[in-house]
Copies of this chain bind each other. A is one copy, B any other.
Amino acid sequence: MAIAEDVKLGQGVQIHHPQLVNLYGCSIGDDTKIGSFVEIQKNARIGCRCKISSHTFVCEGVTIEDEVFVGHGVMFINDRYPRATLSGRLQTETDWTVIATRIRHRASIGSGAVIMCGVTIGTGALIGAGAVVTRDVPDYSIVMGVPAKVVGDTREKEWNL
């Protein structure tokens, strides 16, 4: 089991295989479901009634509001120009600044998407599977591709519940 003692778990959080996740220093809201092979780092905040699907990585600096769907194999990022070392020694936390990312209420992120740091994904937006999101996504927008571009509006879809 790799759920650190400092994780703040809300009521009714569902983690079917606690031995197959790696959670530390994060907070998870009520009734959220976390899939297998998920890592969530310290200072990441996940809201209530979210689904965080298998194989997804949520890094420090990411805030996910309520009722957000995150697909399988989604990668969040918090550093624009990552490096392993600084002047020949391993970088430590003091060597870089975390760039924050926010996912607003009821957004959905398709499987295999990559979310660059510093962006906000708007309320009710939909990120297509495999998209690479490099800039802000307006509320209710549907985006696709590499880099992701707006292709529609979720409010015009019958499945917008």
Contacts and interface: CB of A to CB of B under 8 A. Distances in A.
A116 B132 contact: no
Contact of A114 (B83, B85, B130): B130
Given A37-B22, A55-B55, A49 B145 contact: no
Contacts of A132: 112, 129-130
A14 to B, nearest CB: 9
A154 to B, nearest CB: 8
Q: What copy number does this chain have within its complex? A: 3
A145 B130 CA distance: 11
Contacts of A91: 51
Interface residues of A, number: 57
Nearest to A84: B69
Interface string A125-145: 010011010000000000001
A111 B75 contact: yes
Contacts of A77: 71, 110-111, 129
Interface of A: 2, 17, 19-20, 22, 31, 33, 35-37, 39, 49-51, 53-55, 57, 59, 67-69, 71-73, 75, 77, 80-91, 106, 108, 110-112, 114, 116, 126, 129-130, 132, 145-147, 154, 157, 159, 161
